[in-house]
Each structure stands twice: as C-alpha cells, then as structure tokens.
Amino acid sequence: MVRTAFKLPLRQTEGLMASVITLMGLTISSPDHTTVSRRAVTLPVIDAAPMPQGPLYVLIDSTGLQVYGAGQWLEAKHGAKSRRKWRQLHLAVDAGSGTIVAQILTDQDGDDPSQVRPLLDRIGGRIARGDRRRGV
C-alpha cells in the first residue's frame, strides 16, 4: 500500500520502509523488494475517488513544503548554511465530501490569489456560488 500511495519502485519502497522503521525505533525488519513484489500481486486495485455530483462548494488553501536535498547534507557535513527551498501546494477541496478536486505545486513565490483561477480551471464540474451553510 505504501508503494502504491507514493508511486515508488520496489527498491525505493524497501528503503522507505526501512527508514520509517528505524525512525520509529522498532526492532523489526522491513520486507525486501522481492517479497513486496510477490505480495503486490494479491492486493486489490485502489480506484480514485469519483468526482462529487452536482455543483461543488470549493475551499481553496495552500501549505508550504520544505524541500530537502544536497544543501541540508552539506550543512550537516560542513556546517555551512544553505538556502532552504520551499514549494507551495495549493489545493481546491470540495466542502461537502472533503475530496481534493484540484492541486497545483508552485515555487515559494507562488501566492494564493494568483493560483485561484488555475485551480478552478482544473475542476471539471460546476462550481456553486454563495455560502453553503446559509443556503445563499
């Protein structure tokens, strides 16, 4: 399931699971990539959630994501300060079901107002106007 959720190759899934187990301080071992491959054959396919019917009441928000890379490694090894890189994840969520109906990942300079139109353009269904709670 982890492999499917993160869309990872088998060996990367093995490494991720080993890292998570280590971070949790557990003494169990992670399955190797051949075991993951054999077990993946019997897993059911997870279908994407269907788009809600009718006009959508859309909530738009964003969050910052820090990108880790060689800069953090150099900082840890040599003590030199590196510029931290950030990305903004902008989401459009259906207020009724909580389903993410559109998403855009921008660099750290992408502000919320500039991403409203591109998010709305990615939504295939109708978008309702007004306040759902007050019936307006």
| DSSP for 39-85, written as a single string | HHTTSPPPPPPPPPSS-B-EEEEEEEEEEPSHHHHHHHHH----PPE
Region 40-60: what's the mean pLDDT? 75
Report the distance separating Cα 136 and Cα 131, nearest Å. 5
pTM of the model: 0.54
pLDDT in tens, 54-85: 788 888 888 887 776 666 667 777 766 666 67
Greater confidence, 3 or 83?
3
pLDDT in tens, 83-115: 667 788 889 888 888 888 888 888 877 777 888
Instruction: Please tell me the least confidently modeled range out of 24-28, 50-54, 56-60.
Output: 50-54
Percent of the chain at pLDDT exceeding 90: 0
Output the pLDDT for position 82. Answer: 60
> Hey, what are 42's tokens?
């019997």
Output the pLDDT for position 95. Answer: 85
